[in-house]
Amino acid sequence: MGNIKQKDLILYSGLIILGLAAPYLFSAFKVQLTYLCVLIVLAMTWNLQGGEMGYNTFGNILFYGLGMYLTASVQVGMFFPLAEWTESGGEKTFVHTTAQYFQGIGVGLLVSAIIPAIVAGAIGYAILGLRGHYFAICTLGLGIAAGEIAGGIEIIGAGQGFTTPPFPAEIVDTEARGKFFYFLSFALLIGTFVFVKYIYGSRFKLILNAIRDNEDKAEAMGIQTMKYKITGWMCSAFFCGLAGGIMGGLIGYIDSTDVAFDGREMGVFMVLMAILGGKGTLWGPVIGATLFHFFKEGLWTLILGWQYVALGVLIVVIVIYFPEGLMGWLREKYPERFGEVIDEKDRKAQVELK
């Protein structure tokens, strides 16, 4: 990271102040803002694989869903028998006290960060050895299989779902729940951003890029590619698990295929957002996620019922016409802003060659 420039310092502190003030300024949209933070986190972590490493995964939803189930299970299981909780449909028989609730969610989030990372490390050696489209299809299969299997396990609610502990009733402030989850997700966003920015300044990012550009060559140069691929995936899993845990608490209800391992929504959204903003850039996923969220929230209600058709068409259009995304387009238009110097002679020679 080193020394941050003064211009960047103003930008970052401005954004942080905006983020801190947002729940007070836009009080009615706290849930939407929380969603936005989580979406940005998912897009940024997807970008580590899809953008930097060149491994287009559909499987990060696995860690998201895993984190969601783990947080809720730990939060309940620490104080009450889990099987009875899911059987009775949640809060009817057992009530968390305020202290229990926060202790539970704290430990739950910790677990939901560590376990997905361990899972990523464990399956990484087998899965990340696959190349290109085989990797994409395999991770797609993993995500869906996880949803189907979770939908058959009794102790976490099977097909009927899992109600997460409700926010403690002793806190009378009606705004408190929204604020709590917003600041939790905002903290996660800052953590993720700082981490990804740190990666962008490190040798690790260059190695990931080398893997993307030519993995065999990178291996021949003496880089242990598998080690770095697994590490990269574990980092993503860590943050995806946390994001899932927060979303589980916010939504309050976990369904195996529609909320947790939601390949049809979240799983596609994270890919789409990163591509929309421009994969392989630091700010691309952030901008892509923000744009996508505004577009989604603005249009979803207008075209009720048709939103999936619109989503499908959007995917096709973005993938075919804007595969480089917004940042890629800007980069082509204003290369100087990105610190690229174009040799006019060289460019002309290239044009002539074409």
Partner 1 sequence: MDFLIFKAPMLMVQASLDGILLGILFALIAYGMALQWGVMNIINIAQGDLVILGGYIAYTMYLAGIHPAWGVIVSPIIMFFVGWALYKLVINKVVDRDLFISILATFGIAIVFQQLMNFIFGADVVVAQSEYGTTMLFDNSVTLPNSKIFSAFISVLYAVALVIYMKKSKLGRAIRATAQNARAAKILGVDTEKVYAATFGINAALCGIAGALISITLTLHPYVGLPYTVRSFMIVIVAGLGNLPAVALSGMGLGLFEEFADYILGTEFRIGAVFMLLVFILVYRRFKLSKKREYLK
Contact 250, 181 (CB under 8 A): yes
Rounded to a whole number of angstroms, the minimum distance from the CB of residue 56 to partner 1 is 5
* Nearest distance from C-beta of residue 123 to partner 1, angstroms: 9
Q: Identify the CA nearest to 274 among candidates 121, 19, 66, 54.
A: 54
The minimum distance between CB 37 and partner 1, in angstroms, equals 25
The CB-of-220 to partner 1 minimum distance in angstroms stands at 7
Nearer to partner 1, 78 or 130 (CB): 130
Min dist CB 132 to partner 1, Å, is 6
Q: Which is nearer to partner 1, 108 or 124 (CB)?
A: 124
CA 109, distance to chain mean position in Å, is 15
Which residues of this protein are in contact with partner 1, per CB under 8 A? 56, 126-127, 129-130, 132-134, 136-138, 141-142, 144-145, 148-149, 151-152, 158-159, 216, 219-220, 264, 268, 271, 275, 305-306, 308-309, 311-316, 319-320, 323
Q: What are phi and psi of 87, to 5 degrees?
A: -65, -40
Which ranges of 79-131 does DSSP label H, i.e. alpha helix? 82-87, 98-127
Between 294 and 306, name the residue whose CB sits nearer to partner 1. Answer: 306
Cβ(36)–Cβ(290) below 8 Å: yes
The token duo for 32 is: 């939407």
Helix (H, G, I), strand (E, B) or coil at 2: coil
Beta-strand ranges (E) seen in the chain are 162-163, 253-254
Task: Count CB neighbours of 44 within 10 A.
Answer: 29
Rounded to whole angstroms, the Cα distance separating 354 from 348 reads 10
133 or 337: CB nearest partner 1: 133
Report the amino acid identity of residue 137. I
Min CB(52)–partner 1 separation in Å: 15
Closer to partner 1 by Cβ: residue 190 or 268: 268
Question: Among residues 242 and 275, whose Cβ is nearest to partner 1?
Answer: 275
